[in-house]
Amino acid sequence: MPSASVDAGSRPVVAGVGISHPDRVLFPDPKTTKLDLAHYYESVADWILPHVVDRPLTLVRCPTGVGAASGKRGDECFFMKHSKVWAPPALRRVRIREKTKVGEYLIADSLAALVGLVQMDVLEIHTWNSCFARIEQPDRIVIDLDPGEDVEWPSVVAAARLVRQLLSVVDLESFVKTTGGRGLHVVVPLTPSADWSQCLDFARAFAQWLVRRQPEMFTERFGKAGRQDKILVDYLRNNRTNTSIAAYSTRARPPAPVSVPLAWSELSPIRLPARFTIHTVPGRLERLRTDPWKAYRRTKQRIRASAIPAMEGM
């Protein structure tokens, strides 16, 4: 890990941000401190920033870290949607009109802002599907594949490949990433033009199409009962103020797993996503010869008006 300088208060400084309680253990196994997390974001900044710049954030803060062994987010963690508290100055505050009020959100546009989130004890960074500059026009759709307890990894891989295949039927290119858990996100980049309701309508129709084609594999029912052996197609990720875990963000559970973009050719039924943690991802990025999502930014596509009727007729 890179070395940190020290400020006047003897705190380690990473990217100009003083880190209080640098030795606090945020993840117990393997032992990972607050300073370790700051250095992780320093090492992956060039990779994560394109996925978070100008996007309103919802954050998971864990002031005392996460508990050991359970593999679940600790009870001491909480979601923070609106920026009602102190935040380091590198973080940008924006105001967004909501249904009944105006909400203030944080945006991380720089490495200093990312390290500022660590200083706030943030262990998960979730982003909107639109940038603040064009807040009412999403630039992506996220198909969130959330497996039930009895669904094995090879089935999740097969499901993602089917999602890719069916998206291509309606002329949409897609990209895949791990979630830091047991599921996968299939992400469809868009040229901003459709509004939120149009994107949500498409995602809902696509989920229903999947369920009709493979009812034994997929469900669109959000209740836990009866879906242990199915994969939930969570289309509500595409609602206006809902968010998805950012690429290269950690998750608030041991052993500090990370959401990682993959090339479709890397998606394997025998290579589990648990291998991606803050301890392994920097090395992976050093070894990569090219960005697995290299084509993402140059993919220009829109939802065709005929897409939903086409899916409903299949």
Segments of the chain assigned E as strands: 5-6, 12-14, 17-18, 25-28, 31-33, 57-61, 78-80, 92-97, 102-107, 122-127, 140-147, 175-178, 184-189, 218-219, 231-234, 244-245, 261-262
Q: Give pTM, 2 decimals.
A: 0.94
- In tens digits, what is the pLDDT along the chain, a chain of 314 residues? 455 676 656 789 999 999 999 999 999 989 999 999 999 999 999 999 999 999 999 999 999 999 754 445 556 899 999 987 889 999 999 999 998 999 999 999 999 999 999 999 999 999 999 999 999 999 999 999 999 999 999 999 999 999 999 999 999 999 999 999 999 999 999 999 999 999 999 999 999 999 999 999 999 988 877 789 999 999 999 999 999 999 999 999 999 999 999 999 999 999 999 999 999 999 999 999 999 999 999 999 999 999 988 888 87
d(CA 1, CA 20): 18
| pLDDT attached to residue 67 | 78
Chain centroid to Cα 111, Å, comes to 18
| pLDDT attached to residue 204 | 97
Q: Please report the sign of the dihedral spanned by the C-alpha atoms of residue 99, residue 102, residue 103, residue 107.
A: positive
| pLDDT attached to residue 152 | 97
First-last CA distance in the chain:
52
Helix (H, G, I), strand (E, B) or coil at 32: strand
Sort 121 into a burial class: Cβ within 10 Å, 0-12 / 13-18 / 19+: buried
The edge-to-edge listing of strands for the beta sheet with 12-14 is: 5-6, 12-14, 17-18
Sort 297 into a burial class: Cβ within 10 Å, 0-12 / 13-18 / 19+: exposed
| pLDDT attached to residue 314 | 79
Which domains does the chain show, CATH number per domain?
A: 5-127 (3.90.920.10), 140-241+298-312 (3.90.920.10)
| pLDDT attached to residue 226 | 74
Phi, psi for 228 (deg, rounded to 5): -60, -30
| pLDDT attached to residue 221 | 87
| pLDDT attached to residue 88 | 92
d(CA 196, CA 209): 20
